[in-house]
Amino acid sequence: MLIWCGLPLIMWIGGQSLITGALDSVSYALVCMLPLFLAKFAGVMFVDFTSYKHMSISKQKITQIIDEKEETGSLEPFVPNSFDIAFDKVSFAYVPGEPVLESISFTAKEKQLTAVVGDSGAGKSTVLNLIAK
Ligand SMILES: Nc1ncnc2c1ncn2[C@@H]1O[C@H](COP(=O)(O)OP(=O)(O)O)[C@@H](O)[C@H]1O
Ligand SMILES: [Mg+2]
């Protein structure tokens, strides 16, 4: 802000020097551009300062996480149940009277890869949501 307020002053003083012949026109132009360079420099410094601040905060957080003690629980590790999944003529509707699944039957064998394939809106997510419930 100070720089911008100083611009008219610099232009005026430079203008006087131009009139008295102490400055040629090129030097006068350069003198007038000086506040612009200073403003740019100040802007760059400010941006660098703020990114430095952000980086040091991130560094603090990362250091905190690294220094955190490892949790040593006495609980047994979680072992999910393992079983076949079978759908036997399953029908489902979100809205009564508008079925999404109609009499679906399939078996997904334990420890085997099973793919649920279908067009968008066919009901794949619905099938998986029903399994999860
Ligand atoms: N929460 C919901 N309420 C009503 N209709 C739904 C809902 N979720 C999905 N549907 C409808 O059920 C049909 C099957 O959706 P979805 O199971 O998401 O299909 P897919 O996963 O195969 O794309 C679609 O017509 C969809 O608009
Ligand atoms: Mg889906």
Q: Could you tell me the distance, in angstroms and rounded to a whole number, from the CA of residue 122 to the centre of ligand 2?
A: 8
- State the Cα–Cα distance between residues 49 and 125, nearest whole angstrom: 48
Q: Could you tell me the distance, in angstroms and rounded to a whole number, from the CA of residue 105 to the centre of ligand 1?
A: 18
In 3D, which of 104, 100, 91, 98 has the Cα closest to residue 122?
Answer: 100
Instruction: Please list, in sequence order, all residues whose beta carbon lies within 8 angstroms of the beta carbon of residue 17, skipping any fewer than 6 positions away.
Output: 23, 28
- Report the pLDDT value the prediction gives residue 41, as an integer from 0 to 100: 82
With a cut of 70, say whether residue 21 has pLDDT above it.
yes
- Report the pLDDT value the prediction gives residue 75, as an integer from 0 to 100: 80
pLDDT (tens digit per residue) in 71-115: 887 788 888 888 999 999 999 999 999 999 999 999 999 989 999
Rounded to 5 degrees, what angle do the CA atoms 117, 119, 124 make?
50
What pLDDT band is residue 4 in, cutting at 50, 70 and 90?
A: low
- Report the pLDDT value the prediction gives residue 26, as an integer from 0 to 100: 86
With pLDDT > 70 as the criterion, what percentage of the chain qualifies? 96
Q: How far from 116 is each of 26, 113, 124, 126, 129, CA to CA, in Å?
A: 76, 10, 6, 11, 12
- Give the number of the atom of ligand 1 that is nearest the alpha carbon of residue 124: 22
